Amino acid sequence: MKPHRHGITLCVLSACGFGTMAIFAKEAYAAGVGVVTLLALRFLMAAALFWAIVAVRDVAMPPRRVVLAGLALGAGGYAAQAGLYFGALTRIDASLTSLLLYLYPSIVFAGALLLRAHTGERPTPRRIGALALATAGTMLVLLGGHVGGVDGLGVAMAVGAAFVYAGYILVADRLVGGTDPFALAALVTTGASASTLAVGASSGGLDLGFAPAGWGWIAAIAVGSSVLGISAFFVGLRSVGPATASIVSTIEPAVTVGLATLIYGEVLGPAQLAGGVLVLGAVVILQLRTGTVPGDDPAAHATVAAPARALAHEPA
């Protein structure tokens, strides 16, 4: 298989892994797993696997400042974003949660514009238009119908997850840029596991008395949606470059919506579907700069630090 095609395939697999996370979470909840327990165990498993990858690849540890920044980003921003995202999944449909989370690229762009003295972001007409598309799409998603028992708190948590994740990306870009992506993933998930375990222990939210099937769903999130999803994205990124990889990754919400429809019978109204198309279209426009896809030089980005998609969802 040609390197470019192989990279595209890996990015698609990564998006599918991330897209199944909401479904795995719903199944874990059905098995009696609580949100805090799910997050703590998911981060703990993922951190152990990422440290194993770091050891096998013999990755040199970054400077102490970067180590502390990575741990802090995980304990704060990443854990908070995941808490909001997985909390939203307990209240609203997986499809709606996924579409609302995908506001984050537009929020990142808006934040970069506000901080353009530091980020160098330029307000070109095309990108401003993309921001307007995302805003209009969001309004359609939210006002296009109350399908699936939508409630205000669930929507607020999903939108909050998008804002927190956007802030996490903007801060991470300045603090840990250039760090080996697997070392950064290990540090971030370690910090996130520490904070979620602390919250669970202090609040009594850690409860292992769930059905045995819950362990399987937690492992599926940690291994399939987190470690394999992130790893496939990083490897694919090196073959196709960041713009192409990010654009391919926009199939993730479609995977979530499709699976949620097949498994749970979730249905988005016509206006909500149109809004979702606008939001994802805005993401593609924001990622597609002049010449970036045809001339996207993978070698120039081989050590790119934790691209936005790879450490979300995670998000979440």
For residue range 229-256, list pLDDT tens digits in order.
888 888 888 888 777 777 788 888 888 9
Q: What are 136's two structure tokens?
A: 């209009």
Instruction: Provide the 8-state DSSP code for 33.
Output: -
As a 3-state breakdown, the chain gives helix, strand, coil percent values, each rounded to 5, of 75, 0, 25
Q: Of residues 24 and 132, which shows the higher confidence score? A: 24
Q: Of residues 254 and 308, which shows the higher confidence score? A: 254
Q: What are 123's two structure tokens?
A: 């307000």
Read off the pLDDT band of 23 (50, 70, 90): very high
Read off the pLDDT band of 56 (50, 70, 90): very high
Instruction: Compute the average pLDDT of residues 101-126.
Output: 77
Distance CA 248, CA 187 (A): 26
Encode 188-253 in three state secondary structure.
HHHHHHHHHHHHHHHHCCCCCCCCCHHHHHHHHHHHHHHHHHHHHHHHHHHHHCHHHHHHHHHHHH
pLDDT of residue 272: 83
Alpha helices in 76-209 (DSSP H): 79-88, 94-101, 104-114, 116-119, 125-143, 152-175, 181-203
Write the single-letter amino acid at 244: T
Burial of 299 (0-12, 13-18, 19+ CB in 10 A): exposed
CA distances 210 to 22, 30, 85, 216, Å, are 19, 9, 21, 11
294 CB contacts (<8 Å, ≥6 apart)? none
Domains in the chain: boundaries: 3-311
Q: Indicate the angle between helix axes 125-143 and 104-114, nearest 10 degrees.
A: 140
pLDDT tens figures, 115-125: 776 656 677 88
Q: What are 5's two structure tokens?
A: 């095609």
pLDDT of residue 114: 82
H helix or E strand, kind and range, residue 2: none
Contact 168, 69 (CB under 8 A): no
Distance CA 175, CA 74 (A): 13
Q: Which residues pair with 315 in a beta bridge?
A: 313
pLDDT tens figures, 175-192: 776 788 899 899 999 999
CA distances 24 to 68, 85, 178, Å, are 31, 13, 32
Distance CA 133, CA 226 (A): 30
In this model, does residue 308 exceed pLDDT 70?
no
Contact 158, 85 (CB under 8 A): yes
